[in-house]
Amino acid sequence: MSEGRIAVERHRRGNRWMHWINFPLLTVMIWSGLRIYWADLRDPFGVGIGGWHWFELFPDWINEPLGLDRKLARGMAFHFTFGWLLTLNGAAFFIYLWRTGGWRNFVPTRDDLRTIPAVLLHEVGLRKDAPPQGKYNGMQQLTYAVVLIMGALAVISGFAIYKPTQLALLTSMFGGYEGARFVHFWVTIGFVLFFGIHILQVARAGFRNFWSMVTGYELLDAPEDDESEASEEFEEVGA
């Protein structure tokens, strides 16, 4: 520790480990899922309103450079193998949040939700000061809660697609095979959008914020008028 700095714990070990395990697993799942999607593109998903069609997902200029076409067998092999690993890691994370009480950091209260407009105004530069917050602000809490729900939907809808006959009841909950496929696809698009926004936010927050997710601690400037108290806080947190 440098002079005049204190180490403050930001992320527990379990959060960090499962975060870094989940990132490559989800990346492989999206990549392999696109291979399966492109293997039989008779009914592509698209974006539009009513009869007004804007574009289809995904266009050839994305598909061809990534070599996603005609790779069904390889895509399925990767998807099913890494899908089990993603499911196990997700289940472990939910149990960890429940046992440690960490779920409270991801579920916004009414007061947290009321701060979202102020948070957004601060993010776009229309408000000078950010509203008071705990570990995460209201917008972050809402986003992470939605991502956790999306993860559960991805796994459940994936099983409904994988075994539509054996898990007929589960598949019917989505309105049938096509309904489960629809949910699974758009949850994937949601993850892609989250990835992009999350990486931009991490870059905006700076290297110190990123490094805290690696080590678990963030170095902050110690209060100049109470060095002894700062020293005691460092010893307690670093223990």
Domain residue limits, the chain = 106-198
Rounded to 10°, the helix 138-162/177-205 angle is 150
pLDDT for residue 46: 65
Helix (H, G, I), strand (E, B) or coil at 224: coil
pLDDT for residue 70: 63
What is the pTM assigned to this prediction?
0.74
List the structure tokens of 152: 């559960």
Burial 37-67 (b: 16+ CB within 10 A, else e): bbbeeeeeeeeeeeeeeeeebbeeeebeeee
In a structure prediction context, what are the per-residue pLDDT tens digits for the chain, which is 239 residues long?
445 677 777 778 888 888 899 989 999 998 888 888 777 665 666 666 666 666 666 666 766 776 666 678 888 899 999 999 999 999 999 999 899 888 888 888 888 888 888 888 887 777 887 777 777 888 888 888 999 999 999 999 999 999 999 999 999 999 999 999 989 989 998 998 998 888 888 887 778 778 888 888 777 766 665 544 444 444 444 33
